[in-house]
Amino acid sequence: MLQVYNTLTRKKEEFKPIEKNHVRMYVCGPTVYDYPHIGNARSFAVFDTIRRYLEYKGYRVTYITNFTDIDDKMINRANEEGISVADLAARFIAEYYIIASELNLKPATVNPRATEHIDDIIDMVSKIIENGHGYVVDGDVYFDVPSWSNYGVLSKIPLDELSAGLRVNVGEKKKDPRDFALWKAEKPGEPSWDSPWGKGRPGWHAECSVMGKYYLGIPFDIHGGGQDLIFPHHENEIAQSAAAYGEKTPVKYWLHNGFLTINTEKMSKSEGNFFTAREVLDNYDHQAVRFYLVSGQYRQPLDYNDKALKQAIQSLERIKNAADTIRGKISILEKKGGRRTKADDKLSEAIKKVREGFEREMDDDFNTPGAIAEIFTFVRDINSLTPDIGNAAVLREALSTLSELMSILGINLEKAEDEAGGKSVEVLKGVVGLLLEVRENARKSKDYAAADMIRDRLKELSISVADTKDGPTWKIE
């Protein structure tokens, strides 16, 4: 029985999807104004692993993770560089897909962008106003927090405590300092869209409520993200969705991953104590980075340091060596033949135990450290028993089991890597394919500047793109 820790109830609960055998899952994605830091990458890897395990359990998973492609940080960065917000978004969406491929993230069912759902956001904001929980002031629209008695249901912060230390900032016209923006009136030099309240753009919190409902319906099963999103972002999502659509509990299970820390301090761009995912992936084996990111229990903090990454490299090497040991023995048996021995029976029992142990640990709120410990017990059994194995069939089953369980953690034991940097032909094909898919979507949306930027960036990497009647093709120059 799978149990998950639900932030909404602060306890572990039996996982029962709303729709039998179908899990609908939304994970907050990056704001694409810069490279994601390695702490963001932990969230990517954690929820990818959770998705993979749900699929292993037999569920069909609809997996949505968004791109925030309009907000204050994006506008400020674009203005600093003298480019459009759309061009900035295209650059870092492309970078995200490269990082996603290097971390072996499964492609999302959909990666929606906030700017693709402006009309839907306007519709939600209109409903909130109509239902008496939003108000308009000079083109700005605010959520009326005191009007929503259930506010604080996720963060467990009492409504009367929220106002402590808060104030209305200069230029804001809120009724209450706890109120938050649903729609922001147009300012000079900012992208804007027409709305019933004048030209403007959405507030940050609005997009996830809208896109969750658009792609998954309401209520849906799982909403994931970092612990820093519990308040205010996810708290505001619940209030918005419930106030607009009348669903008191728009999400059944709220899952939040712990922070990545440096010397026990939270990794944060605002504090300047961070490494980008790009920096880390350029300096360490990609699969080892992925293994490190999922090595801790996802709700607990994970400290980043070179020692931990080097340990992940060594641990992964032990597992790969065990797989190679099996392959070598299979090759010998295929040439010389053999017959079943006591070691065969012991390895068959070890195969059964590792699968049962792995599932037991993962069923306990996706306890990856326990699951990895089960794998290492299996690796010891492989190393001690393989020399005496007489039947290739049991070895093939052992290799298949090891590969399958590692794939749930996002590690591909079959991946062929070259000697220079560990980047495989398969990874290159996957990355370029993802970038061309992003480019095609940009072309269909008539965002030709973004499409051209992707083509030009690939050209800088000596990859030429040609558009044909059958779709884009590419080659290394």
Contact between residue 430 and residue 101 where contact means Cβ atoms under 8 Å apart: yes
Residue-level pLDDT at 422: 44
pLDDT surpasses 90 at 95: yes
Q: How many CB atoms lie within 10 A of CB 148?
A: 20
For β-strands 11-14 and 3-6, DSSP reports them as: antiparallel
> Concatenated DSSP letters for 293-324?
HTSS-TTS-EE--HHHHHHHHHHHHHHHHHHH
| pLDDT tens, position by position, 280-331 | 999 999 999 999 999 999 999 999 989 999 999 999 999 999 999 999 999 9
Of 215-219, 380-384, 443-447, the range with the lowest mean pLDDT is: 443-447
Of 78-82, 91-95, 268-272, the range with the lowest mean pLDDT is: 268-272
| pLDDT tens, position by position, 412-426 | 998 544 333 444 555
Give me the mean pLDDT over the 434-448 stretch: 80
> Is residue 107 reached through a cis peptide bond, with omega within 30 degrees of 0 on the bond before it?
no
* CA dihedral for 40, 42, 43, 49, sign (positive or negative): positive
Q: Domain extents for the chain?
A: 3-129+206-293, 311-408, 425-476
pLDDT averaged over the chain?
Answer: 91
Residue-level pLDDT at 269: 65
Residue-level pLDDT at 335: 82
Residue showing tokens 């932030």: 7
Residue-level pLDDT at 170: 52
Residue-level pLDDT at 231: 95
CA distance 285 to 102: 9
CA distance 351 to 348: 5
| pLDDT tens, position by position, 119-140 | 999 999 999 999 999 999 999 9
CATH architecture of the domain 311-408 equals Up-down Bundle (1.20)
CATH, domain range 3-129+206-293: 3.40.50.620
For β-strands 220-226 and 22-27, DSSP reports them as: parallel
> Concatenated DSSP letters for 19-81?
BTTEEEEEE---BTTSPPBHHHHHHHHHHHHHHHHHHHTT-EEEEEE-BB--SHHHHHHHHHH
The torsion angles phi and psi of 294, rounded to 5 degrees, stand at -105, 10
Burial of 286 (0-12, 13-18, 19+ CB in 10 A): buried
